[in-house]
Amino acid sequence: MPTFTPLGTASAVPAHGRHLSAALLTHHGRHILFDCGEGTQYRLHAVEASAARINVIAITHLHGDHCYGLPGLLSSMALQQRTNPLTCIGPPGLKAWLAATPGASPAELPFACTICEMIPPPACTTVWRGRHAWLEARALDHRVPVMGYRWTTYTRTGPLDVERARALGVSHPPDFGRLKEGTPVTTDDGTRVRPDDVVGPPQPGVSCAYITDTRPGPGSRALAQRAHLAYHDATFGSEHAARATETGHSTAAEAAQIARTSGTHRLLLGHLSARYEDWTPLEAEARRIHPNTEGAREGHAYPIGPAN
């Protein structure tokens, strides 16, 4: 099962043992890194995650608490003789910034580093496709151009009932594979076995949304729509709602309202202001709106799936 691991949940500055913004999504032994605040390399070590297994780095925006760890991480990858290609996604300015940073310029790296720079799209747009899943981005509402992300696995074929297939006369190993792929087979005695006879219904994909540094709005709702897990900006409590509006952030109650109206199954609150020592008051106000909510725990691997 894929997992989502918050690495840093602090807003603006490290505080109360919390670190700057970063999160790791892991599936089939590979990682997508969302944001890369200062110190992200230390956080990767803390959860025993190998930077060599990061295939994609998705940056939401170019405020320092979300991206200042990226040059150091790229430089370390080079020092470790990485050869696997890497994709970095982010808003305008990312390419020029990295190109001007000694040791982090893609032209200097010993591995292929593709910078996918884009204006945050007004509708959900696919920005990366992998073997098992794809990644979408959508514009959010902050003081600078910012993107949220949604990761979704492809729909899989249903499970093959091997015993049922054998009972119908299927005996050759390749035929089991053909049935799983949707192709009918004929047994040695001439019986025609259809996939519908032995393969269960398709298994829908699972999804995870990463939504931070934003006011609640259409972008948040679209990314969180029926997501199995969503990490959402909850910088402030409702007592500081005016400050949230002024700075382009959300309150915990607003994040919970997005999750409830979007049909999100599980909500993680993120990007906590330094004025709060812990998540307790924000969890309380959010749970009154969306009960399946908690403050994101750094280093905890949250499963992404319908059983959450």
Q: Is 65 labeled as catalytic in the residue annotation?
A: yes
Strand partners, 233: 270
Strand partners, 156: 203
Exposure on the CB side of residue 16, measured as CA atoms within 13 A: 15
Task: Please identify which of the residues 35, 65, 213, 233 carries the catalytic annotation.
Answer: 65
Q: Taking a C-beta distance cutoff of 8 angstroms, is the pair 169, 188 a contact?
A: yes
DSSP for 39-78, written as a single string? THHHHHHHTT--GGGEEEEE-----HHHHTTHHHHHHHHH
Helix (H, G, I), strand (E, B) or coil at 10: strand
Compute the Cα dihedral for 22, 60, 101, 272 and give only its sign: negative
How many residues can be counted in the chain?
A: 308
**Could you give the angle at which helices 252-262 and 280-287 cross, rounded to 10 degrees?**
40
Largest CA distance in the chain: 75
Q: Taking a C-beta distance cutoff of 8 angstroms, is the pair 145, 128 a contact?
A: no
Strand partners, 4: 25, 302
Helix (H, G, I), strand (E, B) or coil at 23: strand
Question: At 104, which amino acid appears?
Answer: A
Active site residues: 65
